[in-house]
Structure 1
Amino acid sequence: MFTTRPEIAATFGAVASTHWIASQVGMSVLERGGNAFDAAAAAGFTLQIVEPHLNGPGGDCPIILHSAKLGAQQVICGQGPAPGGLTVALMRDQLGQSIMPGTGFLAAPVPGAFDAWARMLLEHGTWRLRDVLEYAIGYAARGAHMVPRVIQTLATVKPLFEAEWQTSAALWLRDGGPQPGKLWSNPVLAETYSRLLREAEAPGRTREQEIEAARDAWYGGFVAEAIDRFVRTPMMDTSGERHAGVLTGQDMANWRAGVEAPTTREFRGHTVLKCGPWSQGPAMLQTLALLDGYDLSTMDPVGEEFVHTVTEAMKLAFADREGFYGDPAFVDVPLATLLSDAYAAERRKLIGRDASMEFRPGSPDGRAAQGVDYAAAIRRAEEMTAAAGTGEPTVSRLGASGGDTCHVDIIDRWGNFVSATPSAGWLQSSPAVPGLGFCLGTRCQMFWLDADLPNGLKPGKRPRTTLSPSMVLRDGKPWMSFGTPGGEQQDQWQPIMLARMLAHGFNIQEAIDLPSFHSEHWVSSFWPRGAKPGKLVLEGRFAPAVLEALKARGHAAEMGGEWTEGRLTGARLEADGQIFAGANPRGMQGYAVGR
Structure 2
Amino acid sequence: MFTTRPEITGTFGVASSTHWLASQTAMGVLERGGNAFDAAVAAGFVLQVVEPHLNGPGGEVPILLWDERQRRMHALRGQGPAPQEASVAAFRSLGFEQVPGIGLLPAVVPAAFTTWLVMLRDHGSWELADVLAPAIGYARDGFPVLPRLSQAILAVRELFAQHWHSSAAVWLPGGKVPMPGSLHTLPALAATYERILQTAQGEASTRTGVIDAAIRGWQQGFVAREIDRYYRSEAVYDTSGERHTGLLRYEDLAEWRLQADAPVTADFGRYTVAKCGFWSQGPMFLQQLGVLRQADLAAHGPGTADFVHLVSEAAKLALADRLAWYGTAPGAQERLQQALLSDDYLRARWALIDPHRASQVLRPGQPLDVAPRMPDLGVAARTLQNAEIRFGVGEPTFATLPPPSEWAEREIFVGDTCHVDVVDRQGNMVAATPSGGWLSSSPAIPALGFGISTRLQMTWMDEGLPNTVTPRVAPCTTLSPTLALRDGEPYLAFGTPGGDQQDQWSVAFFLRHAVHGMNLQEAIDAPAWHVKHAPSSFWPRSTVLNTLQLESRFDAPEIERLRALGHQVNVGEPWSESRMCAAARSTDTRGRTVLRAAANPRGMQGYAVGR
The amino acid across from 1:160 in the alignment is L
Q: CA RMSD for the aligned pairs?
A: 1.6
CA distance in 1, matches of 2:301, 2:15: 31
For 2:351, which of 349, 352, 374 is the aligned residue? Answer: 349
1:133 paired residue number: 132
Secondary structure class of the residue paired with 1:418: strand
| 1:118 matched to 2:117 | yes
2:498 paired residue number: 486
The amino acid across from 1:573 in the alignment is R
1:60 paired residue number: 60
| 1:394 matched to 2:395 | no
Per the alignment, do residues 54 and 401 of structure 1 end up closer, same or farther by CA in structure 2, a change over 3 Å counting?
closer
For 2:605, which of 572, 583, 589 is the aligned residue? Answer: 589
The answer to whether the 8 Å contact 2:107/2:454 transfers is yes
The amino acid across from 1:360 in the alignment is R
| 1:572 matched to 2:584 | yes
CA distance in 1, matches of 2:186, 2:89: 39
The answer to whether the 8 Å contact 2:142/2:185 transfers is yes
The answer to whether the 8 Å contact 1:399/1:428 transfers is no
1:497-516 to structure 2, matched below 5 A, reads 497-516=509-528
1:204 Cα deviation after fit? 5.9
2:442 paired residue number: 430
Secondary structure class of the residue paired with 1:593: strand
The amino acid across from 1:364 in the alignment is P
CA distance in 2, matches of 1:269, 1:499: 12
Contiguous gaps of at least 5 residues in structure 2: 398-414
How many residues matched?
Answer: 586
1:281-292 to structure 2, matched below 5 A, reads 281-292=282-293
CA distance in 2, matches of 1:27, 1:201: 26
CA distance in 2, matches of 1:509, 1:397: 34
Secondary structure class of the residue paired with 1:194: helix
1:46 paired residue number: 46
Per the alignment, do residues 534 and 394 of structure 1 end up closer, same or farther by CA in structure 2, a change over 3 Å counting?
same
CA distance in 1, matches of 2:375, 2:91: 19
CA distance in 1, matches of 2:280, 2:151: 29
1:497-536 to structure 2, matched below 5 A, reads 497-536=509-548
1:101 paired residue number: 100
1:554 Cα deviation after fit? 1.1
1:322 paired residue number: 323
1:393 Cα deviation after fit? 8.0
Per the alignment, do residues 436 and 498 of structure 1 end up closer, same or farther by CA in structure 2, a change over 3 Å counting?
same
- Of 119-128 and 447-456, deviating more is 447-456
Secondary structure class of the residue paired with 2:533: coil
Contiguous gaps of at least 5 residues in structure 1: none
TM-score by length of 2: 0.94
1:399 Cα deviation after fit? 8.2
- Of 236-245 and 25-34, deviating more is 236-245
Per the alignment, do residues 137 and 328 of structure 1 end up closer, same or farther by CA in structure 2, a change over 3 Å counting?
same
1:29 Cα deviation after fit? 0.3
Secondary structure class of the residue paired with 2:306: helix
CA distance in 1, matches of 2:190, 2:425: 31
For 1:495, which of 498, 507, 510 is the aligned residue? Answer: 507
The amino acid across from 1:474 in the alignment is R
1:544 Cα deviation after fit? 1.8
1:313 Cα deviation after fit? 0.5
The amino acid across from 2:359 in the alignment is S
The amino acid across from 2:583 in the alignment is A
1:166 paired residue number: 165
The answer to whether the 8 Å contact 1:394/1:400 transfers is no
Q: Deviations over 1:309-335 (max 9, x none)?
A: 011100001100100011177621323
1:401-420 to structure 2, matched below 5 A, reads 401-402=396-397, 404-420=416-432
1:372 Cα deviation after fit? 3.4
CA distance in 2, matches of 1:594, 1:371: 47
CA distance in 2, matches of 1:534, 1:55: 30
CA distance in 2, matches of 1:454, 1:532: 22
CA distance in 2, matches of 1:213, 1:74: 23
CA distance in 2, matches of 1:219, 1:90: 24
Secondary structure class of the residue paired with 2:90: helix
Q: Deviations over 1:455-506 (max 9, x none)?
A: 0011011100000000000121110000000000000000000011111000
1:444-459 to structure 2, matched below 5 A, reads 444-459=456-471
1:572 Cα deviation after fit? 0.6
Q: Deviations over 1:345-379 (max 9, x none)?
A: 111111001111101000001111112344656x4
Per the alignment, do residues 313 and 375 of structure 1 end up closer, same or farther by CA in structure 2, a change over 3 Å counting?
farther
1:267 Cα deviation after fit? 1.2
CA distance in 2, matches of 1:253, 1:203: 18
Secondary structure class of the residue paired with 2:449: coil
2:403 paired residue number: none
CA distance in 1, matches of 2:568, 2:437: 33
Secondary structure class of the residue paired with 1:73: strand
1:12 paired residue number: 12
Per the alignment, do residues 422 and 399 of structure 1 end up closer, same or farther by CA in structure 2, a change over 3 Å counting?
closer
The answer to whether the 8 Å contact 2:324/2:374 transfers is yes
For 1:365, which of 368, 372, 378 is the aligned residue? Answer: 368
The answer to whether the 8 Å contact 1:451/1:458 transfers is no
1:81 paired residue number: 81
CA distance in 2, matches of 1:143, 1:534: 44
1:6 Cα deviation after fit? 0.3
CA distance in 2, matches of 1:145, 1:504: 38
Spell out structure 1 runs of 4+ moving beyond 6 A: 397-400
CA distance in 2, matches of 1:349, 1:67: 39
1:303 Cα deviation after fit? 0.8
The answer to whether the 8 Å contact 2:303/2:554 transfers is yes
2:273 paired residue number: 272
Secondary structure class of the residue paired with 1:202: helix
Task: Give the fraction of aligned pairs with identical amino acids, expressed as a percent.
Answer: 51
CA distance in 2, matches of 1:554, 1:398: 30
1:547 Cα deviation after fit? 1.7
2:229 paired residue number: 229
The amino acid across from 2:266 in the alignment is R
1:532-547 to structure 2, matched below 5 A, reads 532-547=544-559
Per the alignment, do residues 196 and 204 of structure 1 end up closer, same or farther by CA in structure 2, a change over 3 Å counting?
closer
2:144 paired residue number: 145
The answer to whether the 8 Å contact 1:270/1:475 transfers is yes
1:231 Cα deviation after fit? 1.2
1:23 Cα deviation after fit? 0.2
- Of 25-34 and 572-581, deviating more is 572-581
Per the alignment, do residues 304 and 203 of structure 1 end up closer, same or farther by CA in structure 2, a change over 3 Å counting?
closer
Secondary structure class of the residue paired with 1:2: coil
The amino acid across from 2:49 in the alignment is I
The answer to whether the 8 Å contact 2:394/2:540 transfers is no
The answer to whether the 8 Å contact 1:160/1:399 transfers is no
The amino acid across from 2:15 in the alignment is V
Secondary structure class of the residue paired with 2:115: helix
Q: Deviations over 1:536-556 (max 9, x none)?
A: 100111112222111111111
Per the alignment, do residues 301 and 397 of structure 1 end up closer, same or farther by CA in structure 2, a change over 3 Å counting?
closer
CA distance in 2, matches of 1:125, 1:329: 35
CA distance in 2, matches of 1:90, 1:448: 13
TM-score by length of 1: 0.96
